[in-house]
Amino acid sequence: MRDLYARRWAPAAVIAVWAPLCILAAFPGQALASPARKAPKPAEKLAPIKASGQVRRWMRNMTLRDEVAQLVLIAFHGESPNSGSRAYLRFLRLIRDVKVGGLILTNVSNGHTIQKAEPYALAAFLNRMQRLARVPLMVGGDFERGASMRVEGVTVFPHAMAFGAAGDPELSRFEGEVTAREARALGVDWVYYPVADVNNNPDNPIINIRSFGEDPKAVAAQVRAFIEGAHSDRRNYVLVTAKHFPGHGDTAVDSHLNLPSIAADRARLDSVELVPFRAAIEAGVDAVMTAHVAVPALAPPELPATLSPAILTGLLRDELGFHGLVITDALEMGGIAKGFSTAEAAVRALEAGADTLLMPSDPEAAIRAVVAAVASGRLKRQRIRESVVKILSAKEKLGLDRKRLVNLEGLGDIIDSPESAERAQQIAERAVTLVRNRDNLVPLAEADQSCFVTMAESRYGMEGQAFAAEVRKRSPQARITPLDPGMSRADVEAAMDRISSCPAYTVAAFSTVGAYRGSVGMAGELERAMETLAASGRPVVLIAMGNPYLLRDFPNVNAYLATFSTVLPSEIAAVKALWGEIAIGGHLPVTIPGQAALGEGIQLAATRAAQPQP
């Protein structure tokens, strides 16, 4: 049947094939008439790569897609999942096959509390991932109070504002040294710190104690000191990052939820927000992280700074002269994601002048979008290569071409050294600031007569436990009432009834910032409980464990101390201050509107010997 079909149609087929050829032979200088076709777009002429030999070797066989993937950093939690698990297979794909450029360590929540990474599991996981990668991975982390922000079993530093209250940049320099040493030991080589934001808005729900304070020059001094400390030992060199450009301090909206806006004019920006960033650039900061904030004085009012060429290129690159890495804040945050798709945000960030794309919600979609933007001419291949060279040059500077794996056996001798822990405790103690002290309530003259109340931010966390333990060391019979926001109104009222006969109250109120929370106030029934105590007519000592602006809400308390941090060393420092075991010498790094001015602080000498620490 097939032969019959061929014989039957052969003449027609011959005619169909030969007719055009005959016409072409007759008119050799002309083509057949056909629909007009677009001329192919000429390929972009790429300039030679100006980079070291190592960087050129890494780039030698990279496709455009490989180059774009180097710009993407994905999140991980520091766990070490089974190699057959879905989580591990995802990392396998993104690192070995997609070839993303790096990782960022984030915490994981179990629904009640934040789980930090265990050091050895973290380091072991990073070793496995580094072995999968053809080009070494860059590993970053928001080590804002040292590695302890993300990792257990390391030196625990207080929040930045505690350093501002202590007022000595040398303490930030020391923190930089320890942070760099511990980070590199863990396998983290890119630290997203210091925070260069000037917290001049008391209602800021996401910066607050993450900032060194509201005085631009004082913040700049602390920023500079941390950078210099982190860069002081070439053997433990880390990339450091000033954030969040051009400033996130004068906002009242959490950019994890929505897009905040800074209403300041350019003159105010120059004299306040940009001062610490200039200092960071002068100090040799390696990277600048963008802010998901609108700045109408610099760019269209609905455009986040992260996506603004005027801010990232015009201001940061051209005016301020920064030539290092520009990294976006997490692209999954509401300040970006509510206005732009993953694909569009990725392309716009690179158009604006960013070099790396942090945590796009869909990494592969972001990569595809950038590749397509290059293919269409929206982005230049040369522009992509410029950022890739920067990233790979940074990896070479970190020595990742020579050593990318963590020494697990030596890890324990580097992290959480007793000397570093002792110094971190001293920093927390120097930060304690006495803002008010009517009737000289502090130090406590008759601690046994006071009832202690701890107000934690969660019933599942550890907040207040160290405070209570330290109180009982000194006053074994002390009445300590723990409250938390998960308690019902009836439970809180019952607790208040049980201590209604106390002659005096000392309250440790924990209140700090948290992503996606939207506020920094006391939750649940805790504010009502505090109002009850303040209205009791009895002396009240309020200790702000974290947010220093609490005094605005409870202006009638008799005494007010601020620690500017919620970490364990700050809990211990608060009790030592109450018992007069340490001198109180901190000064407010912020103004508490209507209550206390910038720089205020009552100075008290120590009156008792300190309790020995285990």
* DSSP string across 245-314: ET--SS-SS-TTTS--B----HHHHHHTTHHHHHHHHHTT-SEEEE---B-TTTS-TTSBGGG-HIIIII
Terminal Cα-to-Cα distance of the chain (whole angstroms):
96
SS3 track for 163-190: HHHHCCHHHHHHHHHHHHHHHHHHCCCE
Which tokens belong to 239?
A: 């990339």
Beta strand residue intervals within 281-432, DSSP E: 287-290, 325-327, 357-358
Q: How many CB atoms lie within 10 A of CB 261?
A: 17
Distance between CA 321 and CA 152 in Å, rounded? Answer: 38
Q: Is 484 a catalytic residue?
A: no
Distance between CA 531 and CA 431 in Å, rounded? Answer: 26
Helix (H, G, I), strand (E, B) or coil at 357: strand
Which tokens belong to 443?
A: 């130090």
Q: Is 323 a catalytic residue?
A: no
What is the H or E stretch that residue 506 is in?
A: strand 504-511
Helix (H, G, I), strand (E, B) or coil at 113: coil
Distance between CA 419 and CA 414 in Å, rounded? Answer: 11
Residue 612 carries which DSSP code? P
- 100 neighbors 136 (Cβ within 8 angstroms): no
Catalytic residue, chosen from 256, 286, 416, 484, is 256
User: Residue 55: CB partners within 8 Å, gap ≥ 6?
Assistant: 49, 389, 392, 393, 396
Which of 427, 428, 435 lies closest to 561, judged by CA? 435
Q: Which residue has the tokens 């040493």?
A: 181
Residue 24 Cα distances to 11, 14, 16, 269, 461, angstroms: 20, 16, 14, 71, 84
Distance between CA 413 and CA 561 in Å, rounded? Answer: 36
Residue 435 Cα distances to 222, 375, 540, 543, angstroms: 22, 61, 14, 10
User: Residue 546: CB partners within 8 Å, gap ≥ 6?
Assistant: 159, 208, 209, 510, 511, 512, 520, 563, 564, 565, 566
Distance between CA 199 and CA 598 in Å, rounded? Answer: 12
Catalytic residue, chosen from 189, 250, 286, 329, is 329
User: Residue 36: CB partners within 8 Å, gap ≥ 6?
Assistant: none
Active-site amino acid positions: 256, 329
